[in-house]
Amino acid sequence: MIRQVLLSLFCLIVPGAGAIWACSLCAGSPSSRASWREDANSAKLVLFGSLLNPRINPDGSGATDLRIETVLKDDPALANRKLLTIARFMPVDPKSPPKFLVFCDVINGQIDAYRGSPAKSAAVVEYLRGVTSLPTDRTKQLQYYFGFLENEDTDIATDAYLEFAKTGDAEVARAARQLNPGKLRAMIANPATAPERLGLFAYLLGACGGQADVKFLTGLLNDGGERLRPAIGGILAGLIQLEPKTGWAQTRAILGDPKRPFPQRLAAIGALRFFHAAHPEATRADVLQGLAAILAQNDLGDLAIEDLRRWQWWDLTADVLGLFGRPSHSAPLMKRAIVRYALCCPKSEAKQFIDRLRSTDAEMVKDVEEGLKLEQIPAGK
């Protein structure tokens, strides 16, 4: 049960496992959630103001007024109005009217406020103005968001972090080299920093920091505290950036030791997946060694097999096929992972493996083939 819970969380954190994060080292902000930038791009109107006069209409519907203080994105349908009625009841303290960012569509000339985001202060106005004027270059965009990761307005800091979470590993890696290591050290050391953000911050520090940060990150790795456990993948990725030989050795040591806690080994896989996405050719040999280190483990081997299959890395085919039939790898989840791999692998030994299995368990092969059709991953011939 513990493994199932952790793996369900891992699928949210690590791409390739049913993930909804674009950045392998980001947690806590699913990239399926829209950022303010995305909402602003799709909205016809973006307004900032205070809510007032919530009421129930005679027909039983609700309404609340927005006193418009700033128009961040305009549309002729607004017609210079200073008050907009939102068609829903929203509780309001008249002594302290809440501030809101409101994103609107315009349908048949009528304004439809489809999303409202609470705003602690008018600082969101300047932040969003900066966001909407950014160049298309993602590196420059991330540099802008980096400046708000520790903003005292937590809504702004959360939106800035979400932009990193929505960015692919290769783009994060390109931007990381130009960030401020001193600021990153301070954010990591700050106990108020959300634990789920520490992995990203640790990697970014490794990418832009110096030799002194090896000791700093090594201290984090050896800390053993609960707060840093989810960040292990990012810490290892940071160390690999600073001292590749040492960092990869530590990564393999964690992955290859089945006596280490399952969550620790699971988190370390994040470093492999990050470098596969960010620097696939330069780190291929090291990533393969890391995956090979966990193939024989009955609690993580299926994840390594699935990564190898999705990436179409067939270097370890003999090792993967050799696991089938072992008592340690007899769980249905593990067996199906091996069969999926074999069906997708173009090597002759994989075809021979499937031919033999069809004669003993044709039903399993058929079921796995049907699943692969749903994934639209072509099977090897």
Between CA 343 and CA 354 the distance in angstroms is: 7
Give CA–CA dist 16/273, Å, rounded: 8
What gap in Å lies between CA 132 and CA 10, rounded to an integer? 33
Q: Residue 6: its pLDDT value, please?
A: 39
CB-based contacts of 191: which residues, under 8 Å, 6+ apart? none
74 φ, ψ to 5°?
-105, 160
Residues found in the chain? 381
Any bridge partners for residue 106, and if so which? Answer: 111
Amino acid identity at 236: L
Residue by residue, pLDDT tens for the chain (381 residues) are 444 433 433 343 333 333 345 899 987 655 578 899 999 999 999 999 999 999 999 999 999 999 999 999 999 999 999 999 999 999 999 899 999 999 999 999 999 999 999 998 889 999 999 999 999 999 999 999 999 999 999 999 999 999 999 999 999 999 999 999 999 999 999 999 999 999 999 999 999 999 999 999 999 999 878 889 889 999 999 999 999 999 999 999 999 999 999 989 999 999 999 999 999 999 999 999 999 999 999 999 999 999 999 999 999 999 999 999 999 999 999 999 999 999 999 999 999 999 999 999 999 999 999 999 988 754 444
The partner residues of 85 in beta bridges, in order of sequence, read 65
Q: Given this model, what pLDDT does residue 72 score?
A: 96
Strand order in the sheet with 45-56: 83-86, 62-73, 45-56, 99-107, 110-119
The pLDDT of residue 52 is: 95
Q: Which domains does the chain have, with CATH numbers?
A: 36-125 (2.40.50.120), 305-381 (no CATH)
CB 247 within 8 A of CB 239: yes
Q: What is the pLDDT of residue 9?
A: 36
End-to-end alpha carbon distance in the chain? 37
The predicted pLDDT at position 30 comes to 59
User: In the prediction, which pLDDT does 10 show?
Assistant: 38
